[in-house]
Amino acid sequence: MGNSFVSTIHGQLFLLLQRILPQHALMALVGAVAGIRIRAVKDFLIRTFVRIYNVDTTETSREVPAGFIDFNDFFTRELAERARPIDSSRESVVSPVDGIMSASGLIDGNTLLQAKGIHYTLEDLLATDLPDAALFENGSFATMYLAPYNYHRVHSPLPGQLTAARYVPGRLYSVNQTTVGLLPGLFTRNERLICHFRTAAGPMAVIFVGALNVGSVSTPWTGRIRVRKKGVVEDLDVNPAVAPVEVEKGQMIGWFNMGSTVILLLPPGACTWREDLVSGSRLRMGEALGKVVISP
């Protein structure tokens, strides 16, 4: 029996388990455990996680584990100052995260690549946001996976102005390579937060995709957004009195309370990705992913 066949069977069983699990109840439990502040418990959780996932703790801005009030505080940790230099070129679009490039390239009309042989549409990804979907037809996209050991804050790929933030309820399937390669429309099934920006290169969307191990997503404008399976798409308040809507390249715009995926959308003709940017490429927040055309 070949390794690929065994891997497929294991993947299908994992997908079946995700279908039958009470995903949101399980994530509520995970969130509760991650929020325990009893010193012995939270220190044990942090040390165990660091050991299992070989997390680089030399880059953190606080002592590990003593400097963190609970496991989630550690998971959403800030890095030490200058740990991630931001590419300063005016034409560069930078990686919003530390992670792994899952897929990138041109949007074929309104169709994006999820994995080999699996595609999904802009309309499904952006849910009821249909007029904005047309802005990105034949544009560019990049899908970035955040592994458990990664730094989990998300930063702006370009300078710009936040114009809208929308929360789309949904499922919480894993976004690891196995599930991405097996479940069509994965990114359109999972809950997500869609942030729209106006930039000198045109409209930009940064999409936070929830996952099996995500307890919530937070932004400076909305605070913590609790995940939910059902409900309507919600326009969130982005009042400038809460946080400035003007953001600089590399400025933090949100974070995952546990890990997931970020999708970046840019309009047609606005972006050229680096030639060496392929599926599996390791990314560091702030490094140039490509170049954009700046409007005069």
> Catalytic residue positions?
98, 155, 260
Separation between Cα atoms, residue 101 and residue 170, nearest integer Å: 23
DSSP tag of 60: B
Separation between Cα atoms, residue 164 and residue 80, nearest integer Å: 30
Structure tokens at 133: 């979907």
Give the helix ranges, DSSP H, for 35-138: 39-53, 71-75, 122-125, 130-135
Helix (H) or strand (E) holding 285: none
Q: Which residues pair with 209 in a beta bridge?
A: 192, 261
Structure tokens at 202: 């045109």
Which residue shows structure tokens 């929020």?
Answer: 35
Question: Judging by beta carbons within 10 Å of its beta carbon (0-12, 13-18, 19+), is residue 232 exposed, middle or buried?
Answer: exposed
- What is the torsion angle, in degrees rounded to the nearest 10, for the CA atoms of residue 10, residue 12, residue 15 and residue 19? -130
Give the helix ranges, DSSP H, for the chain: 3-20, 23-34, 39-53, 71-75, 122-125, 130-135, 177-180, 186-189
Smallest CA-to-CA distance from 77 within 284, 252, 286 is with 252
